[in-house]
Amino acid sequence: MNSDRQIGVRTAVLLLAGAITVIVAVRKPELGMAIGIGIAVVTLLDLLME
Calculate helix-pair angle for 9-27, 34-48, nearest 10 degrees: 150
Q: Is the pLDDT assigned to residue 2 strictly greater than 70? A: no
Q: What digits encode the pLDDT tens for the residues 6-40?
A: 678 888 888 888 888 788 878 887 766 777 777 78
Can you say whether residue 9 is alpha, beta or left, with left for phi > 0 and alpha for psi between -120 and 50 degrees? alpha
pLDDT attached to residue 23: 86
pTM above 0.85, yes or no: no
